[in-house]
Amino acid sequence: MSYEYDAAFYEAFEEEAEELEKLLPKGHKYFFTWKSIQESDHIEPIAGIISTRTQSKFPISWIDKINAVITRSTGYDHVSAYFRECGKSVDAAYLPEYAARAVAEQAMILWTSLLRILPLQLESMSTFHRDGLTGREIRGRNLSVLATGRIGRQIVDIAHGLGMNVTGFDISPDESLAAKYPGFKYASLEEALCNADVLVCALPLTDKTNRMLDRKMLGLVKKGAVFVNIARGEISPTEDLLELLEAGILSGIGLDVYDCEKDLASVLRGGASLESIPEERRKTVAATLKLMRDTRAILTPHNAFNTEESVHRKSLETSKNLDAYFRTGRFISPILS
């Protein structure tokens, strides 16, 4: 099949596209757009190599028409799901290392802002009233981090530096963390939830973790706890989070990832109405829109990775993978389907 471009980059925001253009292998033709595949209305693939982030829906019909996929993300469950749906695969790569510190710092920004009721402080500035603005200090608070992989380890590092009491949960504990960070310990999921003033989800999305943190499980938290998810939205159903917030079990929610994220993005970008979302996902999107209006919640647009440093690292890793593929037909960081 002949293509107009050698590689097409979807969901490439302005700064990322500029960095990619600087670093990608020369002598090849590239296409860039901030839109997802479905928003671009591309019926046929315009390149043999397709690169996306996490919001694009790969058309089933493309599986026999493309040569390779690069997801510019650490998680690749969406690519694996596409291959399962098709019953076949193509060469594929992901970027395992580029954003761990950036995402961990975003988690810290969310939990510290929620402990100090920052959204309500900003709202109260117009009247300069301070009633109901009493927050909580960070030092000495109990933080539980769910999963201590690349991102989780960075969260432990930051929380330890802030003087927090840090507990981890992981199916494969890294015992070296206890030696590096005095006071750090592992606990069961239930113990990690029950003792947390701040709970941060850094879990990968798997069949086991999908909807793991539902209203029943998160209902175990200490009343008034703050919950932050910078991992995958499917792990913590939005309707359940809203219910726990309205019941006063959670005092604050910080999200950078969302259940039904593709649908949410299509509504917020103005290309779709809420009524156009299939009924089984509409309630989830509606719950997210309601959370956006609540001063006890801080929601960011899946942007935790987005620092100057991580955009450079991401573009460099993408370039190295593409260069290796052009030269050898193999990626440096392949997805093993």
294 and 323 in a single domain? The answer is: no
Q: How far apart are CA 143 and CA 181, in angstroms?
A: 14
Q: Is the pLDDT of residue 337 over 80?
A: no
Side chain identity at 164, as an amino acid letter? M
Tokens of 61: 């019909």
- What CATH number did the domain enclosing 191 receive? 3.40.50.720
Query: Do residue 80 and residue 105 come from a single domain?
Result: no
Whether pLDDT at 256 is above 70: yes
Residues 177 and 292 in one domain: yes
Torsion of CA 20, 22, 23, 28, to 10 degrees: 80
Question: What order do you get walking across the sheet with 297-299 strand by strand?
Answer: 185-186, 165-169, 142-146, 198-201, 225-229, 250-255, 297-299
Same domain, yes or no: 211 and 87: no
Q: Is there a domain that residue 324 lies in?
A: yes
Q: Which two tokens stand for residue 286?
A: 């509606």
Q: What is the pTM of this model?
A: 0.92
Check whether 42 has a pLDDT greater than 90: yes
**Cβ(303)–Cβ(106) below 8 Å:** yes
Is residue 205 within 8 Å of 231, Cβ to Cβ? Answer: yes
Q: Structural domain of residue 69, as residue ranges?
A: 5-98+308-328
Measured CA to CA, the distance from residue 330 to residue 215 in angstroms comes to: 43
- Same-domain pairing of 14 and 67: yes
57, part of any domain: yes
SS3 71: strand
Per-residue pLDDT tens digits for 70-116: 999 988 999 999 999 999 999 999 998 899 999 999 999 999 999 99
Q: Is position 247 within any domain?
A: yes
pLDDT tens, residue by residue, 179-216? 999 999 999 999 999 999 999 999 999 999 999 999 99
